[in-house]
Structure 1
Amino acid sequence: MLQRSRAAISLSVAVLAGLLAGGMATAAEWRQGWATLRNERHGFLIAYPSEIFQQESESRTDEGRVLQSRDGKAQLLVGAFANDDSTTLAEYRDFLMQENYAGAEIDYAPVRGKWFVLSGTMGDREFYERVSFTCDGRLINSWAMVYPKAERRLYNRVVEAVSRTYSPGAGRSGNCD
């Protein structure tokens, strides 16, 4: 079973890598076998390779989801929540750096007007987290992938592909109301 699962992941990644490198398939073909996660309350959307990640169980809240790789070594986390404290983008980034990534080696960390990314290594794990402020900062959207450093070649490609599908939310109607 494990060998078949690794073979399926390898095949998915090989197809994905070829497409990212400019293969001939259409956009719809590269996401065959992918699942899409939509959040009705906050409006975010993200797609992921279902051969690699699966939902552990239904979420108890409508703020997000945690998906596990089939071998349990990687996680994909996605969610959104109201910014009731009016935290700024810079304050939230500092908070994550201190609380979640203290001691990490950050190797990619762009900051733009309404979003930022934190990516790097902590021990034997790599991470990539994208945070977007929407609705004039009233809603904080994020997704993150945490995975074994030893499997970075696989998961770095998955991160790149998943990032192309992500759309932060703007509430139920899409109009921040």
Structure 2
Amino acid sequence: MFQTFRENFRRHTLLHDAVFIVIGSAIVFNPGAFFQFVGYLIAGYLMLLGLINIYDDYKIKKQTGSWGLGFVTGLIFVVLAVAFLFFAPVIVSILPFLLGISIVINGLVQLTFALNTRQTGALIYSILVLIAGAVLVFNPFKSLLVLMQVFGFILIFMGVIEIIGHFRNKA
């Protein structure tokens, strides 16, 4: 079984790495469009789940004569899909702000610790954490886009390194 897993993993390594590079490039060159695409993808997935639940429950209704919980969960998924489709930009734009608030709070706790223990390294760290949190609070969307671009570069780097490793291990 382990041998089969290893062979499948090795066989699909290049595809996996190419996907990393493509997704990383999409994030680096147009992070806003990537967010929008992910929003549509999530909304589509929720819609598909909803429609499948409704259809499955409809088949059961034909047999039993009454609707079950599948209809209700299907409707909930459909409503969530529509809500996510329309409110995804709002949800995405609020998350960095909330993350920034939590980082600022963490930075304040770290600062209190650093001042009480008089550790220079901890003081510098807490100030850096406070600055990072403040940047996220006062410029949330741009900060998120920069963070996503860094993530994109990491994906590209991982894909390239794994492809190089793949060909080195083959030789």
TM category, shorter: under 0.3
TM-score by length of 1: 0.22
As a proportion of its length, which structure holds more helix? 2
As a proportion of its length, which structure holds more strand? 1
TM-score by length of 2: 0.22
